Amino acid sequence: MAFDVEAVRSAFPILQRQVNGKPLIYLDSAASAQKPRAVIAAMSEAMEGSYANVHRGLHTLANETTEAFEQARISVARFIGAETDEVVFTKGATEAINLVAAGLGAGLQAGDEILLTQMEHHANIVPWHFLRERLGLVLRFAPVTDLGLLDMDALAQMIGPRTRVVAFSHMSNVLGTINPAAEIIAMARAAGALTLVDGCQAIVHETVDVKALDADFYVFSGHKLYGPTGIGVLYGKRERLAVLPPYQGGGEMIAQVSEETVTYADPPHRFEAGTPAILEAIGLGAAIEWLNGLDRAAIAAHEASLYARVIDRLSGANWLRVIGEAPGKGAILSFTMEGAHAHDVAQILDRYGIAVRAGAHCAEPLMHRFGLTSSARASFGLYNTEAEADAFAEALFKTQTFFA
Ligand SMILES: Cc1ncc(COP(=O)(O)O)c(C=O)c1O
């Protein structure tokens, strides 16, 4: 299957719009990706054609909506190589990590160690800090090299007899580094530690097979995967979910409730208290099915070529510092411009219709590691083109003249 970027672009209505009188060049997909018509249609068709609450009704609309919602779970499970009952719908990756941390925390004690890395998003740091504050757990951070690689020797040294969980990002949202997840998981398992993989960025760019990885938990958000906001996924091995305490209480997550006692439903429903994000789950299912119709290896090659093209165009720019140069990295370019604040760079690029992110990218420990408080970040998605890559590089040269 050849990758036809123009055909892909035509599936995204928003790419037709202008920004500041210029065609939109959207280079902020790592923060949140745009949505194809298939997702928009699936959600509005559900609202227009068959909508009701799920799991609890006996009428036709309730049954149809429940079927559509559970079909989305099947799509997710197939997409990551999981069993259907190993897929928990959450509000996003952040909620999924909080759910796991809170549940595992119930079985941990002071002095137990959680091993993270210096390149984690705050979503995979702060929930563990909660446990440090409440239980006296110790957080350790595996270092990152100057090139932006995880220091695997140091990581190996840091896994010890008190390590209970190794939680790490599969792909950095700042550096674009793709971490050797299977290797890290094997090391953790050999030491008797559980693993949680933050797959928010990686799942967008590569095929993920949770069984091949052998992760205990794997999390991601829908909105970076061309799906809607308000929906995310927690994959947990069946035997891990079976012993994880519930996170929130309410309807749908119980087996029985009396005045004296409560018993819980089996996973995944045990972790889905209250009315779930029905439309958003249907939208995520549609995003996945839409992606399944494309050649994902060709998408990855397309994105890699865009990144290489921009780096090539910027090769003479001695005022530019690239943060993250790991071999085989994904198409995320974090950079600083000499004499310019990242926010100013982003605002000037916006005048050219170019959307990039600027700030600490919810990764302050990583920014400190590189001696920065902020950077600008251009992140490429499957709909970006070579012409956009060239326009971005050209706009950076023009932006630089404001600060020279
Ligand atoms: C690597 C990584 N982890 C976690 C998150 C948090 O995702 P969400 O805000 O959708 O819960 C993000 C979002 O930027 C991310 O890039």
Question: Is there an atom of ligand 1 within 6 Å of 236 CB?
Answer: no
Q: Which of 359, 362, 331, 352 is nearest to 33 (CA)?
A: 331
Residues 268, 208 share a domain: yes
CATH number of the domain that residue 140 is part of: 3.40.640.10
When pLDDT is averaged across residues 185-196 and rounded to a whole number, the result is 98
Find the catalytic residue in 100, 277, 348, 362. 362
- Taking only the tens place, the pLDDT of each residue in 115-130 is 999 999 999 999 999 9
When pLDDT is averaged across residues 169-198 and rounded to a whole number, the result is 98
Does position 57 have pLDDT exceeding 90, yes or no? no
Residues 246, 98 share a domain: yes
Residues 299, 287 share a domain: no
Residues 193, 304 share a domain: no
- The answer to whether residue 170 is domain-embedded is yes
Question: Is there an atom of ligand 1 within 6 Å of 173 CB?
Answer: yes
Residues 332, 308 share a domain: yes
275 DSSP 8-state letter: S
- Separation of 301 CA from ligand 1 center, angstroms? 23
Catalytic status, residue 200: no
When pLDDT is averaged across residues 288-292 and rounded to a whole number, the result is 98
- The answer to whether residue 373 is domain-embedded is yes
- Taking only the tens place, the pLDDT of each residue in 26-49 is 999 999 999 999 999 999 999 999
**What is the share, in percent, of the chain residues with pLDDT greater than 90?**
98
Residues 120, 17 share a domain: no
Residues 304, 285 share a domain: no
Supply the mean pLDDT for the chain: 97
Q: Which of 238, 236, 220, 355 is nearest to 288 (CA)?
A: 220
Counted domains in the chain? 2
Ligand 1 atom nearest the C-alpha of 120 is 1
- The answer to whether residue 164 is domain-embedded is yes
CA dihedral 76, 80, 84, 89 (to 10 degrees): -50
- Taking only the tens place, the pLDDT of each residue in 202-234 is 999 999 999 999 999 999 999 999 999 999 999
Name the residue with tokens 């799942």.
Answer: 203
- Separation of 160 CA from ligand 1 center, angstroms? 28
- Separation of 174 CA from ligand 1 center, angstroms? 11
Q: What does the alpha-carbon distance between residue 255 and residue 265 come to, in Å, rounded to a whole number? A: 5
84 DSSP 8-state letter: G
Distance of CA 396 to the CA centre of its chain: 27
Contact 242, 267 (CB under 8 A): yes
What per-residue confidence (pLDDT) applies to 276?
Answer: 97
Which pLDDT band holds residue 3 (cuts at 50, 70, 90)? Answer: confident
| Residue 389 tokens, joined | 């890559």
273 — phi, psi (to 5°)?
Answer: -70, 140
CA contacts within 13 A on the Cβ side of 207: 14
When pLDDT is averaged across residues 137-141 and rounded to a whole number, the result is 98
Ligand 1 atom nearest the C-alpha of 171 is 1
Structural domain that includes position 327: 5-31+295-401
- The answer to whether residue 36 is domain-embedded is no
Supply the pTM of this predicted model.
Answer: 0.98
- The answer to whether residue 325 is domain-embedded is yes
Q: Which one of 251, 271, 292 terminates a domain?
A: 292
What per-residue confidence (pLDDT) applies to 1?
Answer: 55
Q: Which one of 248, 268, 292 terminates a domain?
A: 292
Residues 127, 52 share a domain: yes
Residues 111, 141 share a domain: yes
- The answer to whether residue 211 is domain-embedded is yes
Residues 282, 211 share a domain: yes
Q: What does the alpha-carbon distance between residue 69 and residue 281 come to, in Å, rounded to a whole number? A: 6
Residues 306, 182 share a domain: no
Q: Which one of 236, 268, 292 terminates a domain?
A: 292
The helices-and-strands tally (H runs, E runs) of the chain is 15, 17
Does position 348 have pLDDT exceeding 90, yes or no? yes
Q: Which of 103, 105, 108, 109 is nearest to 90 (CA)?
A: 103
**What is the share, in percent, of the chain residues with pLDDT greater than 70?**
100
- The answer to whether residue 379 is domain-embedded is yes
